[in-house]
């Protein structure tokens, strides 16, 4: 998996979905568990979903930054393809 960005408590890595290899997913990996940033088609944006997680304001800012970074990369890729 390609490392996208390292944060204080987790690292964002780009990979593919186990169910659909053509669908890229972004993994948030930390010391305790793995979470996924995924494309939510209804809202047409990347989202972060975590069950039973406790987050500090610093961690939430980093997750927001990661979603913004991934969204910008997707937009750039879409522009390059046209």
| Per-domain boundaries in the chain | 2-81
Mean pLDDT, range 6-30, rounded to an integer: 76
Per-residue model confidence (pLDDT) at position 65: 93
Q: Identify whether the C-beta of residue 28 lies closer than 8 Å to the C-beta of residue 65.
A: no
Q: Tokens representing 20?
A: 């659909």
How high is the pLDDT of residue 20? 63
Model confidence pLDDT, tens digit, residues 21-76: 566 778 777 756 666 666 777 877 777 777 667 677 888 899 899 989 988 988 88
pLDDT, residue 19, reads: 66
Burial (CB < 10 A; 0-12, 13-18, 19+), residue 74, is middle
Task: To the nearest 10°, report the CA torsion of 41, 38, 3, 77.
Answer: 0
Query: Whose CA is closest to 33, among 18, 64, 11, 60?
Result: 11
């Amino acid at each position: 998996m390609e490392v996208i960005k390292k944060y204080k408590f987790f690292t964002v890595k780009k990979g593919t979905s186990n169910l659909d290899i053509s669908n890229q997913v972004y993994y948030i990996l930390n010391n305790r568990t793995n979470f996924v940033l995924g494309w939510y088609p209804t809202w047409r944006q990347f989202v972060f979903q975590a069950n039973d997680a406790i987050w500090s304001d610093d961690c939430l800012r980093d997750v927001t930054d990661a979603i913004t970074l991934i969204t910008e990369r997707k937009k750039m890729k879409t522009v390059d393809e046209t």
